[in-house]
Amino acid sequence: MTALLELEDLHVAVGDAEILRGVSLTVAEGEVHALMGPNGSGKSTLAKSLLAAPGYTVTSGRIRFRGDDVTNLGPGDRAARGMFLCFQHPESIPGVSVTNFLRQAMANRKGIQDFSVLEVRMEIMSWSARLGMDGRFVSRYLNEGFSGGERKKNEILQMALLEPDFAILDEADSGLDIDALVEVAQGIAEVRAARPDLGILVITHYQRLLEHLPPDRVHVLLDGLIVADGGGELVATVEERGFDAFRSGAAA
């Protein structure tokens, strides 16, 4: 399988503090990888570093996407190449409708500057129906007044419309009740059915999302280092014994 994302001994600092201390992993086309770890382990730092968020400085190592070194590219260039981040806490943008936001994002991703509002709206309505969303929300301001579940579903809608090659789902299960979690997981499955080569990195604390989105590989991150790699059995170990088992080396 073709490698999509390759991290080579990645070190990342926030201010004077080194958060990631040498992370290496490879995600191929069509694979789902899970990155698990407790609060403060560096999971969200990795997610934000992959999309070149300001304030997250790669001090050494490389980020490669489809074989190209993208370490020094900005967020717009990475997104245009096909990288996508589903935020843990999507921000609201008053005054900017869902339709207008998606129109601009789709233009950047597809390199078409004159996307018609009608064309965008038709695509939004089509995918909203496939994802079981109320089509009327597209005229609302982005995430303003949205429930936690609506915000996460809107992120999945963006992933569907922008057609990325690789998606980072940063704690997509955060703040969701079980019904909303199932709906979000079903939405991800719908997008994967339409784009079987889509690579996904799921960042999470818990097993519950992975029950609906089984990973091909699992990585356990502690203190900025991947301390264990394996299959689905690692998810069960985390659930049964917690992350301390990996910290002590007992589950490695």
**Between 122 and 174, the higher pLDDT residue:** 122
Distance between CA atoms of 58 and 236, rounded to whole angstroms? Answer: 32
Domains and CATH numbers, the chain: 3-91+165-247 (3.40.50.300)
Q: What is the DSSP letter of 90?
A: P
Query: How far, rounded to the nearest angstrom, does the alpha carbon of residue 82 sit from its chain's CA centroid?
Result: 12
pLDDT at 252: 43
Neighbours of 250 (CB within 10 A): 10
Alpha-helical regions (H) of 57-138: 75-81, 98-110, 117-130
- The string of pLDDT tens digits covering residues 170-221 is 887 777 778 888 888 899 999 999 999 999 999 987 788 888 889 999 999 9
- And the tokens for 111? 């390199």
- Nearest to residue 200, comparing CAs of 3, 63, 29? 29
Q: pTM score, two decimals?
A: 0.87
Give SS3 for 31: coil
pLDDT at 117: 74
